[in-house]
Amino acid sequence: MKKKIVSVILASVMALGLVACAGGEAAPADNSAAATESADAGSGDSYTIGICQLVQHPALDAATKGFRDSLTELLGDKVSFDEQNAAGDSATCATIANQFVASNVDLIMTNATAPLQAAAAATNQIPILGTSVTDYATALEIDNWSGATGVNISGTSDLAPIAEQAAILNELFPSAQQIGILYCSAEPNSQYQSSEMTKALSTYGMTNVKEYTFADSNDIASVTTTAAAECDVIYVPTDNTAASNAEVINNVCLPAGVPIIAGEEGLCKGCGVATLSIDYYDLGYATGKMAYEVLVNGADISTMDIQYAPKVTKEYNATIAEELGVDIPSGYEAIAE
């Protein structure tokens, strides 16, 4: 926080920031104490938030917008954002996170798993809030998960109930003999969803499930082509690389007549028949409220439970469903064109 009471040590903070760029970490202000002081004294404190978004696509864009809107409504011109996009590169996430630490921002918001992991490696003192992260225990390698991380990290999860996603696949394609799960092997949360979906599908007797993984966007088309040739239906989880290349996936699967159940709305709009989706704007908005609690009310981020989307919606892509001849039962909402 840019408080008058700490302006006299600004030079020291900047010097420590240079050390952080070399692999160390600047000593951050005591955010909890400062936020409490702000709430008590009603001073004109301002806050700088660093935002690292993994890649540009509709779901993540909506989450970032929701976060910014939430904090702007709560803090007005007292909050400013340093928003950076890593263009899908994990190494760039690390560079951005280290820059935020060097700048001694008041809080870091990480949009997707790779930025969360990069920020966690960069600082254990500056508060970090994640969003669009499926499973924090997997992302942060936390055993004995209790709902809170116990460290300087909390946030919101975009995990839609896997069991309900499996139910959608079974409802629409009950006679499917071979099911493929298509995702990026570099995204640990996609691996987690694949494992959970395989378990959930087994409850419907759907045991012929095969993973098809691509390392990055360069081999999506070839891997998808293999999956489409071997499977009756494909499930694509909330995978950022897949979402950024939904058109590539659709250009393979739609001509092959292979339907896709997608993990979220943006992905379904690009290549899927149906999804059980959350509202990413609402997810980001909720993350903004959490940030306010940390910055202004002095909430202990280490004990804040991860929050989940308040509701999920069964949706379908009318254009793709019609082209593939898939009859959508009642209870589904058409995704807006």
Segment 260-265 shows an average pLDDT of 94
3-state secondary structure of 61: helix
Q: Which of 15-24, 61-70, 141-150, 280-289 is least confident?
A: 15-24
pLDDT confidence of 44, banded at 50, 70, 90? low
What SS3 state is found at 40? helix
With bands split at pLDDT 50, 70 and 90, how would you rate the model's confidence at 224?
A: very high
Region 223-238 average pLDDT? 97
Tell me the C-alpha distance between 202 and 55, whole Å. Answer: 33
4-158+281-305 and 162-277+313-334: identical CATH topology: yes
Least confident of 149-153, 241-245, 321-325: 241-245
DSSP label of 144: S
For residue 8, is pLDDT > 70?
A: no
Mean pLDDT value of segment 71-96: 96
Of 303, 233, 228, 241, the residue nearest 267 (C-alpha):
241
Strands lying side by side in the sheet with 307-308? 79-85, 47-53, 107-111, 128-133, 153-157, 307-308
Q: Which fold has domain 162-277+313-334?
A: Rossmann fold (3.40.50)
pLDDT given at position 64: 98
Quote the pLDDT of residue 293. 98
Radius of gyration of the CA atoms of the chain, in A: 21
Give me the residue label for tokens 């990055």: 216
Looking at the domain that runs over 4-158+281-305, which CATH code has it been given?
3.40.50.2300
For the chain, what are the domain ranges? 4-158+281-305, 162-277+313-334
Is 36's pLDDT higher than 70? no
Which range is least confidently modeled, 5-14, 73-82, 244-253, 281-290? 5-14
Backbone angles phi, psi at 282, to 5 degrees: -60, -35
Rounded mean pLDDT, 154-170: 94
- Whether the per-residue pLDDT at 16 is higher than 90: the answer is no
- Entry pTM: 0.72
Residue pLDDT, tens place only, 165-192: 999 999 999 999 999 999 999 888 899 9
Residue 272 dihedral angles phi and psi, to the nearest 5°: -100, 165
Per-residue pLDDT tens over the stretch 308-328: 987 889 999 999 999 999 999
Q: Could you tell me the pLDDT band of residue 159, with boundaries at 50, 70 and 90?
A: confident
CB 145 within 8 A of CB 164: no
Which pLDDT score is estimated for 337? 75
Task: Name the residue among 216, 217, 224 with its Cα closest to residue 258.
Answer: 224
Examine the pLDDT at 46 and tell me if it is beyond 60: yes
User: In whole numbers, what is the pLDDT of the chain averaged over residues?
Assistant: 88
Q: Rounded mean pLDDT of 75-94?
A: 96
Q: Please say if the pLDDT value at position 34 is more than 70.
A: no
Query: Kind and range of the H or E element at 195?
Result: helix 188-202
If one compares 337 and 91, the residue with the highest pLDDT of the two is 91
